[in-house]
Structure 1
């Protein structure tokens, strides 16, 4: 069964980009409008990545564990889900 990973990959990239913007904002000028926009964006993308990964029935435990890591976890989970599993020896 083939699973469409495009929404997961998009959400993972949005999650990482929003985290980078939030941390850059915190380290520089700390503008409140940027924080109030990026915080919910990051949170929603993070939740989408976790739920989308956990809904894949064939997802290995390593992909599910990686999905809960903030920032890079979504990309790691998408990579893990995108690689075909090795066939079990007979």
Structure 2
């Protein structure tokens, strides 16, 4: 799944770079490097999507065939979480996350321990 995420990012980024190049300066070196990069990422994304067993029961395999954004659509269909997110974690915004229930320091109740006011 990690390879698919990387291929999806490279596919989308290379497409954006190629389109910006076409509509602005049309530099030949950017086209020469970006075209094969985009094509390779596209093929890797298709191969990785078809290799994932969970994709068989969904339309993810067919979505991966859409040039440019197909891999991202396939990842979304597969329900892939962004890298670094623990399953079941609660997001509070501004980067604050609570652990999933049962994943606390004691292994029982989970949650966040807040500091208590102590008398000196």
TM over 0.5: yes
Large movers: runs of 4+ above 4 Å? none
Q: Equivalences for 1:48-87 in 2 at 5 Å?
A: 48-59=44-55, 60-82=57-79
Q: Tell me, in whole angstroms, the C-alpha distance in 2 between the residues paired with 1:79 and 1:27.
A: 29
Structure having the larger proportion of residues in strand:
2
- Higher RCO (C-alpha 8 Å, min separation 6): 1
Q: Equivalences for 1:1-90 in 2 at 5 Å?
A: 5-59=1-55, 60-82=57-79
Shift of 1:58: 2.3
Structure 2 gap segments, 5+ residues each: 81-120
Q: CA RMSD in A?
A: 1.1
Q: Deviations over 1:17-38 (max 9, x none)?
A: 0001001100011000000000
Larger Rg: 2
Q: TM-score, normalised by structure 1?
A: 0.82
Q: Tell me, in whole angstroms, the C-alpha distance in 2 between the residues paired with 1:66 and 1:33.
A: 30
Q: TM-score, normalised by structure 2?
A: 0.62
Structure having the larger proportion of residues in helix:
1
Q: How many residues align?
A: 79
Q: Deviations over 1:39-66 (max 9, x none)?
A: 0000000000000001112213410111
